[in-house]
Amino acid sequence: MLALQGDFAAHAAAFRDLDVSVREVRRVAELEGVAGLVIPGGESTTLLNLMADEPWFEALRRFHEEGGVLAGTCAGAILLAREVRPRQPSLALLDAIVERNAYGRQVDSFEASVDAPSLGGPLAAVFIRAPRFRALWPGVDVLARLDGEPVLVQQGRVVAATFHPELTRDRALHRYLLGLAEKGPRAAAGPLRASA
């Protein structure tokens, strides 16, 4: 769990509901032994400022190259995209164009059920100043849609959601991410499930 900014505590609680050991990563060196990392929602420009203190971009790209699973929700999805509108730096690990705050201001926030057949059916989702996927390249799979529009996508070991799954009681997406991390090459670094 990238714990620099945003609602990382709610994501950590969601994984703990699944009996998963969670590490809150605040320094690049703490990526050692991690199989999967969630970049939580929050404010993308604030997150970028906080990441400037260490070589996060290089470290996260290397983490991905070495088989780590990266998931981003809301601001995290923005950070993963190849292109961001309005323009800002990003990791460019997901072949997508993302528009920031595309659903409107804070007062325009809403909760909805999204169509997610890949995750077993409808998924509860909270949209807060959410971004939108404006374009997806071939090779990016849509895992969930809202009114026909992609809101959850995957490209290899990169998963991005424009919503906040951690703010609901639905753990389907966290369970899916856990499955990816357990199958990934970095899973050998240590157990993902908490021991009894």
Give me the residue spans of the domains in the chain: 8-189
Predicted local confidence at residue 6, as pLDDT: 85
Do the Cβ atoms of 35 and 15 come closer than 8 Å?
Answer: no
The pairs formed by 19-25 with CB atoms below 8 angstroms and a separation of 24 or more are 19/193, 19/194, 20/178, 20/192, 20/193, 20/194, 21/191, 21/192, 21/193, 21/194, 25/1
What's the rounded Cα separation, in Å, for the pair 2 and 19?
A: 19
Predicted local confidence at residue 107, as pLDDT: 64
Predicted local confidence at residue 73, as pLDDT: 97
Do the Cβ atoms of 98 and 122 come closer than 8 Å?
Answer: no
Handedness of CA 130, 111, 51, 28 (dihedral sign): negative
Predicted local confidence at residue 196, as pLDDT: 34
Predicted local confidence at residue 79, as pLDDT: 97
CATH of 8-189, one of 3.40.50.880, 3.40.50.300, 3.20.20.70, 3.40.250.10: 3.40.50.880
Q: Residue 37: CA atoms inside 13 Å, Cβ hemisphere, count? A: 29
Q: Which positions are annotated as active-site residues? A: 74, 164, 166
Predicted local confidence at residue 192, as pLDDT: 54
| Cα angle 153-76-89, degrees, rounded to a multiple of 5 | 105
Per-residue pLDDT for the chain (196 aa), expressed as one digit of tens each?
899 988 899 999 999 999 998 999 999 999 999 999 999 998 898 999 999 999 999 999 999 999 999 999 999 999 999 999 999 999 999 999 999 988 877 767 899 999 999 999 999 999 999 999 999 999 999 999 999 999 999 999 999 999 999 999 999 999 999 999 999 878 755 545 543 3
Q: What does DSSP assign to residue 9?
A: H
What's the rounded Cα separation, in Å, for the pair 60 and 82?
A: 14
